Amino acid sequence: MASIEKYEALSDFFKKFYIPSYVLSPEAEAVAVPSTPPESPILVFINSKSGGQLGGELILTYRSLLNDKQVFDLNVETPDKVLQRIYLNLERLKHDALACKIKEKLKIIVAGGDGTASWLLGVVCDLELSIPPPIATIPLGTGNNLPFAFGWGKKNPGTDTSSAESFLAQVIKAKEMKIDNWHVLMRMKSPRKGSGDSIELPPSLHAFRRASPLDQANMEGYHTFRGGFWNYFSLGKNFSHCHLKFTYLFSLQK
């Protein structure tokens, strides 16, 4: 179905979140677009490997309800590449009134476990955007402590249209809040060639970007990694959690 035909077939509710293809990619076909900006334009990132088969099912559901080009499988394309491409395109469209409104109102939904959510938070923070998009988290892992701490629940959600609609309705009502962040550099000796050793990192750590060969953070014979952490604290029946980093988050808690 062509982009405009799909848009016109959507209910008024789902039109509130729809982003036209030309805003997402400069290669998108030029077709008629909505005359008014969506109330709550979203980008949806889903870890298809989270929650058993739930991640894959959730991708199919959201792609059927929105522009399929605004729903991304994190096992196919990484969020840093997606967001860099979209924001470069938004910069190209800075004189386009609809694109500018979408940029101002843009939100992100990430579905996965705590590691997946932290991954998105780190990418958004690293981009240092003038208007960082708030991030809502769908609990789709085993722990789901981060979404639980911000009121999104702890149980894996349903994957049908009704469940997606219910979650999107919460996104519209949710308030934004900021949380503190900090980074840590971790330096590890490089595995010896032919040893078969490998370095496995938690999702909160990613390779340090070398500014130059003289960067003091880099050392010969070592791998240097940078981790992003977010401060939040949650209390439950038998647990408390503390994680760390800064970006915008949605919270349903008052």
pLDDT in tens, the chain (254 residues): 556 778 888 899 999 999 999 999 888 765 656 778 899 999 999 998 887 778 899 999 999 999 999 999 999 999 999 999 999 999 999 999 999 999 999 999 999 888 788 888 888 888 888 889 999 989 887 777 777 677 777 777 789 999 999 999 999 998 887 777 777 777 777 777 655 556 666 655 655 554 445 556 666 777 777 776 777 665 655 444 444 333 434 434 33
* Lookup: tokens for 20: 């036209």
Query: Could you tell me if residue 78 is inside a domain?
Result: yes
What's the pLDDT score for residue 243? 40
Check if the beta carbon of residue 196 is closer than 8 Å to that of residue 97: no
CA–chain centroid gap for 117, Å, is 7
141/75 same-domain check: yes
Residue at 238 is within a domain: no
Residue 242 lies in a domain: no
Beta bridge partners of 183: 228
Give whole-number Cα distances, 68 to 18, 59, 63, 80, in Å. Answer: 10, 9, 4, 19
Range of the domain at 36: 3-178
Residues 125 and 192 in one domain: no
pLDDT at res. 98: 92
Same domain, 160 and 213: no
The verdict on residue 133 lying in a domain is yes
Strands of 181-189's sheet, edge to edge? 181-189, 222-230, 205-207
Domains: count for the chain:
2
Torsion angles phi and psi, residue 66, rounded to 5: -125, -175
Q: Rounded to whole angstroms, how far apart are CA atoms 114 and 228?
A: 13
